[in-house]
Amino acid sequence: MSRNFLLKLPSKVCSTMAPNIINARFSTSPPKASALPRLPVPPLKITLDRYLRSIKPFVNAEELKVTENLAAKFGSAGGVGEKLQKLLDERAKNTENWLADWWLNTAYLEFRAPVVVFSNPGLVFPRKEISSVKEQLSNASQVIAAALDFKVKLDSNEIAQEKMGPHPLDMSQYFKVLGTCRIPAEKRDKLRLPNDKDPAKHIVVVHNNQFFKVNVYGNHGGPISQGQILGQLKDCIHDSQEVAPPVGILTSEHRDNWAKAHKILSQSPQNKAVLDAIETCLFLVCIDGPPSPDERAAPNQFTSAALKMTHGGGSRGNSANRWFDKTIQFVFGPDGEVGLTYEHSPAEGQPIAVMMDHIVNYCAQRHPQQPALRYAKPQILNFEVANEVSGMIEQAKINLDKLVEDLEMYSFAFTGYGKEYIKSQKLSPDSYVQMGIQYAFFR
């Protein structure tokens, strides 16, 4: 059984997500992109020294000696290492970032295990006590309005420049958070990035497994008001009282299995249009029904919410009320749980954390808005489900339920200390918590 220990440190004292340098194309505000340095190539000797240090805990003295001899031979003058280092240096001269494509493909797009649990993080917003669907939808409309405000500020270059000390960091990942979708393919997936020439003006809302295309921009060119968003959500709920086929659960599958199902679905013009609407939307909004038995059995509210954001509870819960390939999915539970799950490949944690902070701060204030005079009503998105796909859906349910059963999670608030104490001991908060998780698993 795999075990996942989630430590929830106080938010005001712990933020361990580090900025990432992926390429030098964009920053949301000055300085110029040309001022951003390229990712350096470590000298061969430093790489080999780090490698040898990293393996010491895993090998005995004899194995270490053998490995040291192999490393010395590899790094010798005229050796294989020297030749490969020259090729790497040449690649670095001719690309914005010599590592970016390799990392994206190897760490994410070629990884064949399901994105659920294995790579998609779940993040939880502060909980709100609610007692009705009306309040659930009100919560959702507020978060949607906040996310759209973040998008407006991103497009207007109003997001603060990320820095490491005095040095500006590349912020191109910010532009991939809203509107990107991972597309399944055998052996290696693809990323469908936002179309700058035809930017998306819609989100997709899903309730009872039924998908809706919801326009959130009005004829004036800006986002519609929160009240109008709420009206759109009410229309979606009204038109989805019956549970639709659980097509969304296919996105939780092994990537090659999902690629085969996706190929079959795409053969239908109707399905192709539905997939296009989902893949191009700014983000998904999941209005969930009752929690799964696993969520109900969770030891506390922290854990229940974390499970909902991580996998949705399996086939008996709300996992089909998702599209796990979409970069951002906001999730709203019937008991006040609010959070998101995000597909990890387009961006590291920093842009997501900044967006979440923006949303929380936005929701804490009042924002007078001018309603749009005209905007399109929600459009229902119906899948055509062939018999072959129905069989794949049933298998996906079985596979996901096994994964859900195999995940053991306990989330709690640790108040003993936060990141400042860890840094005072000259340690990285991120690696400190990672080692804590590994030590707990070892024990």
Instruction: Enumerate the active-site residues.
Output: 344
C-alpha to C-alpha distance for 413 and 204, rounded to whole angstroms: 33
C-alpha to C-alpha distance for 233 and 329, rounded to whole angstroms: 15
C-alpha to C-alpha distance for 147 and 141, rounded to whole angstroms: 10
| Cis amide leading into 31 (omega within 30) | yes
Does residue 318 contact residue 122 with C-beta atoms inside 8 Å? no
C-alpha to C-alpha distance for 131 and 138, rounded to whole angstroms: 12
Q: What is the distance of C-alpha 227 from the center of its chain?
A: 28
C-alpha to C-alpha distance for 399 and 254, rounded to whole angstroms: 9
Angle 417-422-427 from CA coordinates, rounded to 5°? 165
C-alpha to C-alpha distance for 94 and 41, rounded to whole angstroms: 13
Does residue 49 contact residue 68 with C-beta atoms inside 8 Å? no
Count of CB atoms within 10 A of residue 436's CB?
Answer: 13
* Contact residues for 432 (Cβ-Cβ < 8 A; gap 6+): 422
Does residue 109 contact residue 302 with C-beta atoms inside 8 Å? no
C-alpha to C-alpha distance for 126 and 124, rounded to whole angstroms: 7
